[in-house]
Amino acid sequence: MRNRIFALIAALVVVVGVGLVVPAAGQAPKTYNPPKTPWGDPDLQGVWNDATSTPLQRPGNVGVGVLNDEEAEEFQKSLAHDLTRDRRDGGNAADVNRAYNEHWMDARRLKITADKRTSLIVDPPDGRIPPLVQASPERQKVQAARAAGAARFAAGLPDHYTDMSWPVRCVVRTDVPPYLPTIYNNDFQIFQSPGYVTIAPEMIHSARIIPVDGRPHLNKGLKQWLGDTRGHWEGSTLVVETTNFRADEGVLFQGANSATFTITERFTRVAPDAINYEFTVADPSTWTKPWTALIPWNKVDPAEQMFEYACHEDNFDIVHFLTGARLREKNGETVGQQRPARAGEER
């Protein structure tokens, strides 16, 4: 609960501190020359926010990649209706429940990208994640075990804390690359020092300290949940390669295989208040081809400061989920056979 309170405070700061920063992601003139640090690196420093309602994948009913003004307004309205909990069409109990949840959500997640795209994915051109390849029998087994745990959790009947996802367990959250927008705490602070660029994602309080001095990666056998990152500059773009991911199932996006997964991220400051964050992921044992997404990062007002996102320290939910499940078992509930939702209860 307390970590929710932290999130809430951060969200409040977000709401109070920020004017409308409308970046020109993808449209900025290529001629923009970012300022330099005193030691000559392009300056990416500041607190940046990647919230947007533009979905990673283009919705099936949308035919085009970029919308005109009118279509964009309609698209944004429709997405916001589905995303926000601040709507009054569920009856009193449900509406209050939703409002309570909406309280700590990032309001910036209700706007589409300024360039009016219909998907964050820019390659393949259809804006969709390429088809999955058939996993090896060994990986199918691991994936099935993870999926079964996730299903028990979704049904409110987790057997074990490992039925919960890595983010629910507060091991990793938005700090696993690629960085994707989420419902709250979408802030990233970039620090620069000679030979390093450091990215601190607010959630969960980790620091990605990226050497840009050409040193080699860690030896292959030394793995980490967030991997091992090296960067270099290509013009004014910070290009980042991350390797050495741990093999734990479910940490990497869409269950990608750490043995074959590669990721390249590019950070380009395209305006004083905007960074284009572009990533390309490839994993021949997960997707039929590589794919690329472009997510605008908008600079937040310096009056808005990041705040510690504690997670595990007050992760009461784990105990609530497990004790709730034990109680439901006693009442004879099983996965796929639950009591009906009570009025106002969201599942």
Helix (H, G, I), strand (E, B) or coil at 243: strand
Q: Using CB under 8 A, which of 17, 21, 34, 37 touches other proteins? A: 37
Sites for other proteins among residues 273-312 (CB under 8 A)? 305-308, 310, 312
Judged by CB under 8 A, the residue of 15, 22, 147, 209 near other proteins is 209
Based on the shown chain and the rule CB under 8 A, indicate whether residue 72 belongs to the binding site for other proteins: no
Residues 6+ apart with CB under 8 A from 87: 81, 95, 98
CB 328 → other proteins: shortest distance, Å?
A: 11
Q: How far is the CB of 40 from other proteins (least distance, A)?
A: 10
- Which listed residue (45, 101, 143, 243) binds other proteins by CB under 8 A? 45
Q: Which of residues 220-279 bind other proteins (CB under 8 A)?
A: 222, 224-226
List strand residue ranges (DSSP E) for the chain, in order: 46-49, 121-123, 187-193, 196-201, 208-211, 228-234, 237-243, 262-271, 274-282, 291-299
Output the CA–CA distances (angstroms, integers) from residue 245 to 115, 116, 225, 250, 333, in the order listed.
33, 34, 6, 12, 38
Interface pick for other proteins out of 194, 235, 272, 284 (rule CB under 8 A):
194
Q: Please give the size of the binding site for other proteins, defined by CB under 8 A.
A: 54
Nearer to other proteins, 141 or 312 (CB): 312
Collect all residues with Cβ–Cβ distance below 8 Å to 294 and sequence separation of at least 6: 25, 26, 117, 120, 122, 276, 277, 278
> Of 51, 121, 170, 212, which one interacts with other proteins (CB under 8 A)?
170
Instruction: Find the binder of other proteins among 22, 99, 144, 207 (CB under 8 A).
Output: 207
Site string for other proteins, 132-161 (x = CB under 8 A): ---------------------------xxx
How far apart are alpha carbons 49 and 299 in whole angstroms? 6
CB of 60 to other proteins, least distance (A): 37
Residues 309, 311, 315, 321, Cα dihedral to 10°? 110
Residues 34, 211, 255, 344: which binds other proteins (CB under 8 A)?
211
Q: Is the dihedral of CA 134, 136, 141, 147 positive or negative?
A: negative
- Whole-number CA gyration radius for the chain: 21
From CA 267, how far away is CA 8, in angstroms rounded?
Answer: 28
Query: For the residues of 117-129, what is the DSSP string, one character each?
Result: BS-SEEESTT-SP
- Smallest gap from Cβ 324 to other proteins, in A, equals 10
Identify the residue among 171, 180, 183, 282 touching other proteins (CB under 8 A): 171
Amino acid, single-letter form, for residue 80: A
Nearest to other proteins of 46, 124 (CB atom):
46
The residue behind tokens 């300056």 is: 43
Closer to other proteins by CB, 135 or 200: give it. 200
Residues between 317 and 346 that touch other proteins (CB under 8 A): 318-319, 322-323, 325-326, 329
Contact by Cβ (8 Å): 175, 226: yes
Interface residues toward other proteins, by CB under 8 A: 1, 5-6, 9, 13, 37-39, 45, 159-162, 169-172, 189, 191-194, 196, 198, 200, 204-207, 209, 211, 215-216, 218, 222, 224-226, 305-308, 310, 312-314, 316, 318-319, 322-323, 325-326, 329
